[in-house]
């Protein structure tokens, strides 16, 4: 696809920090090409995702902030299960269009989450949300430590967070990995960091390799469908990006795992 971008859905808010909307359509086309049919853009399967939603206990939550919300499935399910005041932040206009369209289809207008196009790192910090989630976007704050600090800074006393990110795979030798690949945090490292930020772990979900394989396969199907719909050099590049992703997975599959941690704020 080139140049002629879709229109942003009217219910998507554009944060004043956003200068170049055209540039964002362009920048995130690759992610859209590889994810456009997917409601869950991470290695969790449907059972694990449903378990996560239940662990976050949506009924009665009044202010749920999902950072890098993707196509909005987590917030839409949360609202379907009783949450109010949901806010989804993402920097991809494609993803927010998908989130807004799906919310329109499944929820009453009064229940629609706010969908905000923004650089998440620019979003105001303050302990105002009773649930703060960020799945699969730890690069925004340059890794696990920055991400956990930012979730902790946004959750209200007694609230809950969910952090989903990479970790050293079970069974991998940390010394060998740090020599061959560089630093990769262990489950213990993540849990130490959560505790240091006043967050007490209550649950962890560990998608297995089957989850990654299914996620990669969905990406391949999406990239191929995109290339059929918008044939040309860009679509070929996105197919190449997908192949790079598969190659990285093959190279790293012994050492890189991914988990979601659920933790409660213990700060009074």
261: contact with ligand SAM by CB under 6 A? no
Tokens of 245: 């992703």
Site string (74-113) toward ligand SAM, x via CB under 6 A: ---------------xxxx--x------------------
Site size toward ligand SAM (CB under 6 A) is 19
Q: How far is the CB of 94 from ligand SAM (least distance, A)?
A: 8
Among positions 76, 78, 79, 137, the unique one binding ligand SAM when judged by CB under 6 A: 137
CB of 258 to ligand SAM, least distance (A): 10
- Pairing mode, strands 114-117 and 86-90: parallel
Quick one: which segment of 35-43, 155-163, 216-224, 248-256 binds ligand SAM (CB under 6 A)?
35-43
Q: Binder to ligand SAM among 34, 42, 93, 98 (CB under 6 A)?
A: 42
CB 173 to ligand SAM: min, Å: 28
Q: Residue 38 or 195: which CB sits closer to ligand SAM?
A: 38
Q: Does 163 bind ligand SAM (CB under 6 A)?
A: no
* 120 lines the binding site for ligand SAM (CB under 6 A): yes
Q: How far is the CB of 34 from ligand SAM (least distance, A)?
A: 10
28 is a contact residue toward ligand SAM (CB under 6 A): yes
In the complex, the residues that contact ligand SAM under the rule CB under 6 A are: 28, 31, 40-42, 68-70, 89-92, 95, 119-120, 135-137, 140
């Amino acid at each position: 696809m080139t140049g002629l971008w879709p229109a942003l859905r009217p219910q998507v808010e554009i944060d004043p920090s956003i200068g170049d909307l055209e540039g964002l359509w362009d920048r995130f086309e690759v992610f859209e090409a590889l994810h456009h049919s997917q409601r869950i853009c991470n290695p969790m399967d449907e059972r694990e995702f449903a378990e996560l939603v239940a662990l976050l206990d949506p009924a009665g939550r009044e202010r749920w902030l999902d950072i890098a919300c993707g196509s909005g499935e987590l917030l839409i399910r949360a609202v379907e299960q009783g949450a109010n005041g949901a806010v989804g932040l993402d920097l991809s206009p494609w993803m927010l269009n998908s989130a807004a369209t799906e919310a329109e289809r499944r929820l009453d207008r009064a229940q629609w989450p706010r969908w905000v196009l923004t650089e998440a790192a620019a979003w105001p910090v303050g302990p105002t949300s009773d649930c703060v989630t960020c799945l699969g976007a730890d690069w925004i704050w340059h890794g696990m430590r920055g991400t956990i600090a930012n979730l902790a800074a946004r959750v209200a006393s007694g609230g809950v967070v969910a952090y989903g990110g990479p970790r050293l795979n079970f069974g991998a030798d940390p010394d060998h990995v740090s020599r061959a690949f560089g630093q990769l945090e262990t489950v213990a490292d993540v849990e130490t960091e959560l505790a240091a930020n006043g967050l007490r772990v209550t649950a962890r979900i560990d998608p297995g390799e089957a989850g990654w394989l299914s996620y990669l396969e969905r990406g391949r199907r999406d990239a191929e469908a995109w290339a059929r719909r918008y044939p040309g050099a860009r679509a070929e590049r996105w197919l190449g990006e997908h192949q790079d992703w598969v190659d990285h997975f093959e190279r790293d599959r012994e050492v890189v795992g991914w988990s979601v941690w659920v933790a409660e704020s213990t700060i009074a």
